Amino acid sequence: MDLSGKSYRTFIERQEALKKQFSEKQAEKQHSKGKLTAHERISLVFDSGSFEEIDAFVTPADQPVEFGKVDRTYGDGVIVGHGKVNGRLVFAYAQDFTIMGGSLGVVHAKKIAKIQEMALKMGSPIIGLMDSGGARIQEGVASLSGYATIFQNIIHSSGIIPQISVVMGPAAGGAVYSPALTDFVFMTSHTSYMFVTGPNVVKEVLNEEVTSEQLGGAEIHARKSGVAHMIYDDEENTILALKKFLSYLPSNNVENPPMVIDDGATPDINEKLRDIIPDDPNKAYDVKDVINLIIDKNSFFETSELFAGNIVTGFGRLKGKTIGIVANQPKVLAGVLDIDSSTKGARFIRFCDAFNIPILTLADVPGFLPGIDQEHAGIIRHGAKMLFAYSEATVPKITVILRKAYGGAFIVMNSKNLGGDFSFAWPTAEIAVMGPDGAVAILYRKELAESKNPAELKKELVKKYRDKIANPFIADECGYIDEVIDPAVTRKKIVSAFNALSNKWVKVPARKHGNMPL
């Protein structure tokens, strides 16, 4: 090659021009907001030297001059490409807020669409690092059409490859539906926010003053709306968590999750499990203590921790293999199921089923949350989501009933007749149509009304109900559970059960799709 020729000089000039457009001043502006640049984010996500950028030199579409200055920079405000994360192929796009506010124009959208289609074709996860002012106003309907193509691609890839959104700045208007459609959403506290209509529109329409943080900040979406699954204090920690999170997931729906070498630090028999459930059936405990004693040491990665805390969801490992965990949390609302926890659980179960991740269910549920608000807001429909998700799932499914399992909630938490493969119970389990207090109040209403000492009589009747009806041995003898087990051997039992289910295969009916109660 003639290194002094015109073509090579043009090549070098373009390379230099690309470097120069990312100035120190732009980087400092991002850093002053507590944000990294798009290139810095990409460097942190991917294994050193493995990222290969695509379409770095494309330029924005022509725009009418009267609607503002056209920034003729290379790349059109988004970096796209592929590389290795923990040694595995991953595709990504990173919007660059320093170029036209990371706004989405037609070329910007085409770049994202191209990398989405490549990820699907190669069967690899895709990560979207989002930091954008939204649709590019100057390009009108073309930018809106670009969003539609991106959404369509997400939907086509759903359940085939993991799709993860990392919101690291603004995401407003139509842009918010991109993360909402993906499998998991990470956000960074104080620097990222999402909303369909911004503070200015809220003020104009409703005459209410609200900041971007109050309207759609990370904390709001992690605690109240449930749109964000994980939030962290800064971008570095967000990206570190993202990389750890990916280590639990397969690259696509025809692979099994990656295997990690088990260091043998977690004993198969642990007597500490015998002491977790309080003697008082109405006293709370932390179900995460049970989780962490069952799965491989330090392997629990919780999802949606701040949202619907009465149910715990997350990933862990058993002998180095990824499992999904769904557990009622007695510390929050006594572990009842309500609208938010049902939606949270159903979505997590469906993700696990799509990506060949076996599900462990730890049940301690007194029922569904009663009340006018829940009924009027549709607890029937939302609770049915959990039923549908568990019944539909064909991955290995194991349930351990720790304590309470009453009424419809017993059925919902992966009961055998709903399709659970193995169902175990601790001796502390209480399985019945309803709790002893409520059952006795109905069954012995007349006797209690006529008694001279109703409190003492009720106490006796509650004990009798527990002994004769609400105990796991009745369910065991009737075959509604497989075995009452010593809590200390829980890990050993579920490891053996999951191994037995490793070749599970279910033939599903031919249909376009079911009609989930959304």
Q: Give the active site residues.
A: 173-174, 408-409
What distance in Å separates the CA atoms of residue 376 and residue 505, rounded to the nearest whole number?
A: 40
Q: Pairing between strand 483-484 and 397-406?
A: unpaired
Nearest to 273 by CA among 253, 249, 289: 289
Q: Pairing between strand 230-232 and 184-188?
A: parallel
SS3 for 292-328 is: HHHCCCCCCEEECCCCCCCEEEEEEEECCEEEEEEEE
Task: Please give the span between the terminal C-alpha atoms of the chain, in angstroms, as a whole number.
Answer: 62
Residue whose tokens read 């539609």 = 148
What distance in Å separates the CA atoms of residue 433 and residue 62, rounded to the nearest whole number?
A: 67
The beta strand positions in 11-146, using DSSP E, are 52-54, 78-85, 88-95, 126-130
Cα-based angle 68, 73, 77 (whole degrees, multiple of 5): 85
Q: Look up residue 173 and give its DSSP letter.
A: G
* CB of 356 closer than 8 Å to CB of 253: yes
SS3 for 337-365 is: ECHHHHHHHHHHHHHHHHCCCCEEEEEEE
Nearest to 81 by CA among 135, 121, 36, 127: 127
Tell me, what amino acid is at 216?
A: G
What distance in Å separates the CA atoms of residue 422 and residue 440, rounded to the nearest whole number?
A: 31
What distance in Å separates the CA atoms of residue 279 and residue 425, rounded to the nearest whole number?
A: 16
Give Cα separations from 430 to 1, 334, 364 (angstroms).
79, 14, 9
- Joined together, the tokens standing for residue 24 give 């120190």
Tell me, what amino acid is at 415?
A: S
